[in-house]
Structure 1
Amino acid sequence: MIPFRFLHAADLHLDSRFAGLAQLPHAVRSYLRESTFAALGRLVGVAVEAKVDFVVISGDVYDVSDASLQGQLRFQEALKKLDEHGIKVYLIHGNHDPLDGPRLKTELPEGITVFGTGEPGLAVACRRSDGAEVAVISGISYPTQKVTENTALRYNRKPGSTLFHIALLHGNVDGDSQHETYSPCTRKDLIGRGFDYWALGHIHKRSILHEHPPIVYPGNIQGRSVKETGPKGCYIADVNAEGHVQLEFRELDTVRWQVREIPIDSLADEAEWTAAVEQAVEDIREELPQLMSVVRFRLTGRGNVHRILSEKGAAADLLSELQRREAVRADRQAYAGLVWTEGFSVETGLPVDRGRLRQEDSFLGELLRLSGRSAETEDGLEELLAAALRPLLENRELRRLLAAAGAADKREWLRSAEELGITLLSGTEDAEKAGGREPKEAEAGRQERGSER
């Protein structure tokens, strides 16, 4: 087998709208809107610098089926640059950019292959320099947005060919719950089809599901929310003479999304908490000086700062100030090292002994034990929430929102309910109003009152 090299990318989502961030300052929002195009430019640069023989793109080039004119023109420009360097491109369309979406009717460069629908198309890839055949590439594009059949079962190795076989598939392997179950299949389905490399798309989290043969999700090339954290990019795949594949991940993103945790347990007051957050911002700036960062801070733990966060609105006030400072940097077009705080997730509690409360023979103890048992399994969580939220299901919009919520959202609701119960029922508030007794003293007072009743 002739050694060769290719680039595997997916989920470009060009011209993403960045829904939910409409209130951003114009300069910051414009930079975010440009980030998917910037990542595409980096992809072209990596392909040229690495001297790949071809590029495969496994679906969702565009963010929506009726792709913007700008998105289409920028993608065509990228394809032309790759073609100028003799780099061929093989791509499929996915659920976000199915073939029935309205798009420009333009002539693609000669070296671009877009696979159609129906049975997997076949294309023979050649080395860029000498024209030697090195691989057979197969792919199926989505005809419409929703493809719910297992299209992987349509793929078959080309009879009699000893070339390296690559399959482009946009689908959900092994039922990832965070994404729609379009073109659902299992790893077993893919391994049994005889291909040497499965170039996957659709799941935005980078992962190698299987090594021999490689079954690979490169993730998207640019994160677009706090659900898409960490480095984003593509894989360079080197195939040696024995057909073995060595993968190298290359970062492409210009905006890095992340979630950072700040425990409040050791923070004495509002000033220390503010300083801790400001230091975290500067740490991120120092770690990623060439990128813009968008961060959500998870405030966790137990301490006196909890009351400041829950009652004084300190988180909202600090958020406004942090955003104001970064907006000034953005106005100067100082995007490298910009750290935009997207928000705070307040997951803190009062300084109480949660384990002791759970063991009490009291209403609060029983509440915490029930919550703990329910949270142990998905079925238990669903059963508890179904009973608790039943009155809300009469509202159509609330039904829609509840149906769209994931397991992580539901566990957060349960955690918030526990904290509210502790705040209202543990006696801590009574203690503070009575003169600031320590939590254990407040618990003792509450148990005495309970025995009198």
Structure 2
Amino acid sequence: MIPFRFLHAADLHLDSRFAGLAHLPQAIRSYLRESTFAALGRLVRVAVTQRVDFVVISGDVYDITDASLQGQLRFREALEELGRHGIEVFLIHGNHDPLDGPRLTAEPPGHVTVFGGSEPGQATAHLRGGGSDVAVISGISYPTAKVTENTALRFSRRPGSGLFHIALLHGNVDGDLEHETYSPCSRKDLIYSGYDYWALGHIHKRSILHERPLIVYPGNIQGRSIKETGPKGCYIVDVNAEGTAEPQFHELDYVRWQVRELAIEGLHSEAEWTQAVEDMVEAVREETPQLMSVVRFRLTGRGPVHRILAEKGAADDLLAELQRRETVRAQRQEYAGLVWTEGFAVETGLAVDRERLLQEDSFLGELLRLAERSGDSGQELDGLVAAALRPLMENQELRRLLSSAQAEEKLEWLRGAAELGITLLSGMDESAGAPAEPAAREGAGKSGEAAPYREREEEVLERRDT
């Protein structure tokens, strides 16, 4: 077998929308929109500098719902640049850019093979510049946006060929719950198919599902939301004379999405917490000096700072200031090293003995026990959330939004409600940050420990009634 090298990419989503950032300053919004094109440009440069023989793209070049003329023209420009360097391109269309969607009607350049949507097609890949045959490429596009059959079963390896066989498939292997179950298949379907390399698309998190044969998701080339964290890019795959393939990941993204955790233990004031956040912002800037970063901070742990976060709006105030500073950088077009704080996920609590509270014969103890039971049972969680949200369901728009909530979101709501209960009912001594000593009084629970919480319970009930 003749050794060769190819590039595997998928899910370019050129010029598509970025989720959850509608109120960004114009300078930053424009840079984010351009980042998918910039990542495409970097893909072309990597293909050229790494001297790949051909490129395979496994679907979702752009989103039909956002399919701008600019996106299609920029992609064609990239294909033509690859062609000038003698690099063939083989691609399929996925659920976001199906064959029946609106697009330019021009024929693709001669060095580009676009597979149809009726049956898996086959084509031969050559060494760069039109040299010897090195691989057989098979692929099938989505004829429409929703393909629910197992199209992997329709692939068949060309008999009698000693060439390396690559299959392009845009689908969900083993039922990834974070993506639509389009073209669903199992890992076993792919392993026993006879192909040497499965070039997958659709899942935006890169992963190598199997070594021999290689079954690879390269992920998308540019993250577009806080759910798409970490480096994004493509794989360069070297195939040696024995037919062994070795993939190497190459970063392509210009904007890096991150979630950073900051524990509040050991922080005793708003000033200390603010400094800790600012230090972490600078740490991100130093780690990725050539990229723009979009960061969500997860505030975790227990301590006195929780009251500041829960009651004073400190997180909103600091968020506004951090975003103001980075907007000034963007206006100066200093995007390399810019760190945009997307928000704070406040998952903190007071420094309480939670285990002791769970044992108490009190309203707070019962509340926490209910939260524990519901968190362990999906059915009980659904029932609790449905009952709590029933008054909101009368509004059609709210009903639509709330009905789409995933189990993880509901669990976050439950945890937040439990922590709010602790904050309102715990009777904390704010200066010490520790549970107050139980006071003996009439009406306390059997253990005598419920008394410190009665006044807080009455206060909450009064607020509810008013």
For the aligned pair, the TM-score class normalised by the smaller chain equals over 0.9
Match of 2:455 in 1: none
- Give the 5 Å matches for 1:265-304: 265-304=265-304
Aligned counterparts of 2:113 and 2:129: Cα–Cα separation in 1: 19
In 2, Cα distance between equivalents of 1:448 and 1:245: 74
Check 1:448–1:245 CA distance in 2 against 1; reply closer, same or farther (3 A cut). farther
AA aligned opposite 1:83? G
Whether 1:166 and 2:166 are equivalent positions in the alignment is: yes
Deviation of the 1:393 alpha carbon: 4.3
Q: CA deviation at 1:360?
A: 2.3
| CA deviation map 1:171-221 (0-9, x unaligned) | 111111111111111111111221111111111011111111111110000
Q: 1:362 to 1:328 in 2, by over 3 A?
A: same
CA change 1:70–1:369 in 2 (3 A) is same
Q: Distance in 1 between matches of 2:258 and 2:441?
A: 42
Answer whether contact 2:115 2:121 (CA < 8 A) is retained: yes
- 1:48/1:417 Cα in 2 relative to 1: closer, same or farther (>3 Å)? same
Distance 1:354 1:391, change over 3 A: same
SS in 1 for 2:116: coil
Q: How does 1:144-293 map to 2 (within 5 A)?
A: 144-293=144-293
Gap change, CA 1:150 and 1:399, over 3 Å in 2 = farther
For the residue of structure 2 that corresponds to 1:95, the secondary structure is coil
Distance 2:81 2:365 in 1: 66
String of CA shifts for 1:36-64, please: whole Å, max 9, x gaps.
00000000000001111110000100023
Q: Structure 2 regions of 5+ residues with no counterpart?
A: 452-466
Give the count of matched residue pairs. 448
State which drifts further: 75-84 or 173-182: 173-182
Q: Percent identity?
A: 74
Residue of structure 1 equivalent to 2:464? none
Residue aligned with 1:449, SS: coil
* C-alpha separation in 2, matches of 1:22 and 1:108: 35
- Find the residue that maps to 2:435 and give its secondary structure: helix
Helix, strand or coil for the counterpart of 2:45?
helix
Letter in 1 for 2:171: G
- Confirm or deny that 1:426 pairs with 2:426: yes
TM-score (norm 2): 0.91
**TM-score, length of structure 1 as denominator length:** 0.94
In the superposition, relative to structure 1, how do residues 267 and 168 fare at CA in structure 2: closer, same or farther (>3 Å)? same
- Rounded to whole Å, the distance in 2 between the matches of 1:416 and 1:61 is 39
AA partner of residue 405 (structure 1): A
Query: How far does the alpha carbon of each residue in 1:333-360 deviate from its partner, in whole angstroms, 9 at most, with x for none?
Result: 1111000111111111122111221222
Q: Distance in 2 between matches of 1:438 and 1:290?
A: 42
Separation in structure 2 between the aligned mates of residue 233 and residue 100 of structure 1, nearest angstrom: 28
Structure 2 counterpart of 1:323: 323
- Supply the AA of the counterpart residue of 1:354: R
Give distance in 2, aligned partners of 1:258 and 1:448: 50
Q: Supply the distance in 2 between the matched residues of 1:120 and 1:140 (Cα, whole angstroms).
A: 4
2:445 aligned residue: 450
Q: Does the aligned pair in 1 maintain the 2:307–2:423 contact within 8 Å?
A: no
Structure 2 residue identity aligned to 1:329: R
| CA deviations over 1:270-290 (Å, ceiling 9, x no partner) | 100110111111101111100
**Counterpart in 2 of 1:39?**
39
Counterpart Cα distance in 2 of 1:297 and 1:265: 15
Q: Map residues 22-421 of structure 1 onto 2, 5 A cutoff.
A: 22-65=22-65, 67-129=67-129, 131-421=131-421
Looking at structure 2, the residues matched to 100 and 319 of structure 1 have their Cα atoms a distance apart, in angstroms, of 44
Matched residue of 1:81: which SS?
helix
2:427–2:435 Cα contact (<8 Å) kept: no
CA distance in 2, matches of 1:447, 1:301: 35
Amino acid at match of 2:335: Y
Does the 8 A contact of 1:223 with 1:229 survive in 2? yes
Cα RMSD, aligned residues only: 2.0
- Bigger mean CA offset, 437-446 vs 122-131: 437-446
Paired residues of 2:256 and 2:292 also in contact (CA < 8 A): yes
Task: Label 1:443 to 1:12 Cα distance change in 2 as closer, same or farther (>3 A).
Answer: farther
Alpha carbons of structure 1 residues 383 and 151: separation in structure 2 relative to 1, 3 Å: farther
Q: Quick check: 2:426–2:435 contact (8 Å CA) kept in 1?
A: no
